[in-house]
Chain A
Amino acid sequence: MSVLTRTAIVIAFFCMSLLFVAEAQVYNPQQSELGGGRVFLSLGLDPAVQMTLGYSHDVDCFNRTLRVGYDLTLPAGKADLNDLRLRWWSIAPLLGEQDWRVQGIIGLSAVTTENDTYDGISFGMDLGAQAGMYKPDWSVAAEFGFTKSMFTHVSHNDWYRDYIYADAKDGWYGGAGGVWRFGLAASYSFDPVDLELRGGLRTGEGEGMLIPPMYLTLGAAYNLN
């Protein structure tokens, strides 16, 4: 699969996810508690050493306020766009009213890579939850999540074929990866700036250990209103 094709698929995926988010926005925007949007930047290790830029805003859906966001992540290494991740996500309150809350997280992602072994694009889904104390100025919560690589297209490169495995099969691989994460998420607000810290452990679905086995990110968000 060419770089152009991969890029086109990622853009198509991203545009279509925006249309679905648009429906949530128009459902009942007057009931949004916070309104407006926020831009954010985070740096850290998750799974690579990486930087994430994003935008989120609050929308109302079925009398609940959701936070929906989009972000772009670039890992460290060569300064190019061969490795990137685009993600659409939403956080929704599930339980609790005041300080103590449980929130659910769902996300869709498209990831590309170009490494010594293969060029790839993968479409994944995130599911997770956070449970903890949410005060006006700060929050701290336990979080767990599961990220599943649902469809992954791989084109093995010449180096891999020439020196390791000539008959490696290119194509779509199903359910090729899954990562569980367990950790803590905390935030503190210096309105209009919020600082966010997340960290914890990562593990796969089987025997092999993930390297690194942890994640740690520090982020800052700026509230546009």
Chain B
Amino acid sequence: MSKINKYAAMALVMLAVNMMTACDDGILDPAEAGNLVPKTVMEDAALPAIEMNGSRFHLETFGDAANPVLIILHGGPGSDYRGLMRLLDRYDGYSLTDSFYVVMWDQRGAGLSQRHDKDALTLDNYREDIRLLAERFSPDRPVYLLGHSWGGMYATLMINSFPQRVAGAVLFEPGPLNADFYEEVRDDIIDLDFFSEWLNDWAWSQQFFTPDEHARMDFERTLGARSAQPHFHRRMDVDPMPYWRQGAAVSTYLVEDGIEDGKAVYDFTSNLSAFNTKVRFVAGSLTEVIGKEFQQRQMQKFPASDLRIIDGYGHDMVWHAAAQSVAIARDYFESLR
């Protein structure tokens, strides 16, 4: 080896050593929760949590436990309740906690709740989770539900499965409630322009990180958070609806559980005729895919329903228009009493 190549070899070794010592923490482990993504309730004992149905859930309660129970259901599937926290603020002297004992939780495999592999991420488990949650916090009387996006679908799944356990529900732009509705919008859910910056950033990033376990899967999912759904989410550069940690596995496998041979087969509406309480739908006037017209057809699946529109806002109205969202929910809940 010539002298110059010896120097080159030494320089390469020095570069490698420099890389390894450039950070006080040394070489970081991408699989370790807390590095790329936050710790879940499995790694951080300080997070509020409950055990249920073979899993551990990130969960908080707010208000007087003597009040009727209101369960808040976040979107995704796979997101978390951080983006719904403004619904607990006080607007015009009123907070939902004045009337309800509010349960905020990250669903199975989502947010800061325990991660699971594919076998545990099924609609059957989700159905059992919410039944047990209602049983735990409100064993003697039916619960109220407030769901956003996938959370509205989840609320409908609960109503369809256990109609006697639900006292009322507000659904903020629920996603497709059955396979027919899903097939109608499936191509518009994600912006799959093969020359777009976000999609190529996503693929390009696999030369840095590959989604080999939950921490990296969840981290990869953040690459699409800002730009992948331009027809749903607005204000993504200023005050976007935040979250703690996406559950990539649940957002993949729970959707797959409702699909066979590439075609959606699920139906959350088959038993809605057993639920005679009026359900309130809410849509943002700016939502392009599952907005007013789409919800007007979905609400027909319920025996009794109405629809409220929040002008000037899109799919994330529960964050950007939290005051209007709370006012609409309050008006609905008071109408039931």
Contact = CB atoms under 8 A, between A and B. Distances in A.
B23 interface: yes
B309 interface: no
B315 to A, nearest CB: 16
Interface in A164-219: 164-165, 167-179, 204-212
Given A206-B212, A207-B117, A177 B223 contact: no
Interface string A100-144: 000000000101010111001011100000000000000000000
A76 B195 contact: yes
B203 A48 contact: yes
Contacts of A160: 222
A209 B211 CA distance: 7
A22 B225 CA distance: 45
A85 interface: yes
B300 interface: no
Nearest to A168: B36
Contacts of A124: 207
A50 B37 CA distance: 29
B8 to A, nearest CB: 4
B204 A165 contact: no
Nearest to B118: A207
Nearest to B206: A47
Interface stretch (B85-93, B174-182, B238-246): B238-246
Contact of B207 (A9, A111, A167, A172): A111
B203 A208 contact: no
Contacts of A154: 36, 208
Given A167-B34, A173-B28, A207-B211, 17 more contacts: A12-B11, A16-B15, A23-B1, A47-B207, A77-B199, A113-B201, A113-B207, A113-B208, A116-B222, A116-B227, A120-B208, A149-B207, A151-B16, A153-B19, A169-B28, A172-B22, A173-B35
21 contacts: A19-B5, A20-B8, A22-B5, A75-B201, A76-B195, A113-B204, A115-B202, A115-B204, A116-B201, A117-B222, A152-B208, A153-B22, A160-B222, A164-B242, A172-B28, A174-B27, A177-B207, A177-B210, A204-B211, A207-B212, A208-B248
